[in-house]
Amino acid sequence: DAGVIQSPRHEVTEMGQEVTLRCKPISGHDYLFWYRQTMMRGLELLIYFNNNVPIDDSGMPEDRFSAKMPNASFSTLKIQPSEPRDSAVYFCASRSDTWDEKLFFGSGTQLSVL
Amino acid sequence: AQSVTQPDIHITVSEGASLELRCNYSYGATPYLFWYVQSPGQGLQLLLKYFSGDTLVQGIKGFEAEFKRSQSSFNRRKPSVHGSDAAEYFCAVGSGANNLFFGTGTRLTVIP
């Protein structure tokens, strides 16, 4: 398996533009997570899905952020409109529904909002 | 409130020296505890985890971690550090993998 795949690896955009981050989880994994990593706040859970259904979105910072999982193999995180304070590395992770509790992370998307 | 504290933002050690990465947590229930490693430009990889049982957990590459309930700590140790250990290390706590709270990380630099 290729692991969790995120795209793009880097995104540079201007304030006010819409940004869409993409994630393909590992096949067969029931859970998908979106995390944001910044120097000041470290890793923060934004939202997670179980079987394509959003379970906990309490970490989504504000209404400008939205996430979808239309099927088991694809998820998007959208920011509209983007702001400079959204600049961070966004990680997607997935895991299977086993006792193992092991998260598999993608390589992240480095987002810079100018 | 749940929180994880990694008091050392950056640690520099010489190759062959011993190492301890500190992690303290605040959690309302019996925690699950994890250590993850992040190499430059990469996502995080699980190194070891503690759910229950023996409080000394063995991980990969000679690392181990010890859960001390009385101190709310889950420190990670290695008797002899190698250059390839240089990375950023994250401690995490939760009631499971669905609601992990991560520390802000400790960056390890190894001097040859």
B15-25 tens-digit pLDDT = 999 999 999 99
Going by pLDDT thresholds of 50, 70 and 90, the confidence category of residue A38 is confident
pLDDT for res B20: 95
pLDDT for res B9: 92
Q: Which of A15-29, A76-90, B97-111 has the lowest mean pLDDT?
A: B97-111
List, in order, residues 6 or more apart from A15 with CB less than 8 Å away.
A81, A82, A83, A84, A113, A114
pLDDT for res B31: 86
B62-91 tens-digit pLDDT = 889 999 988 999 999 999 999 999 999 999
pLDDT for res A109: 96
A40-69 tens-digit pLDDT = 788 899 999 999 999 999 999 889 999 999
Q: How many CB pairs under 8 A join A and B?
A: 52
Cα separation, A59 vs A50, in Å, equals 16
Cα separation, A56 vs B2, in Å, equals 16
The whole-angstrom distance between B43's CA and the closest CA on chain A is 4
Angle (nearest 5°) at CA A7 between A6 and A12: 130
- pLDDT-above-70 percentage for chain A: 97
Q: What are the structure tokens assigned to B92, written together?
A: 């995490």
Instruction: Using an 8 Å CB-CB cutoff, list residues of chain A that contact chain B.
Output: 4, 31, 33, 41-45, 48, 55-56, 91, 93, 95, 101-108
pLDDT for res A8: 96
For the four alpha carbons of A36, A22, A18 and A110, in that order, the dihedral sign comes to positive
Nearest residue of A to residue B37, measured between CA atoms: A105
Mean pLDDT of A18-23: 98
Say if residue A100's pLDDT is above 70: no
Say if residue A105's pLDDT is above 70: yes
Cα separation, B108 vs B44, in Å, equals 15
Cα separation, A83 vs A89, in Å, equals 14
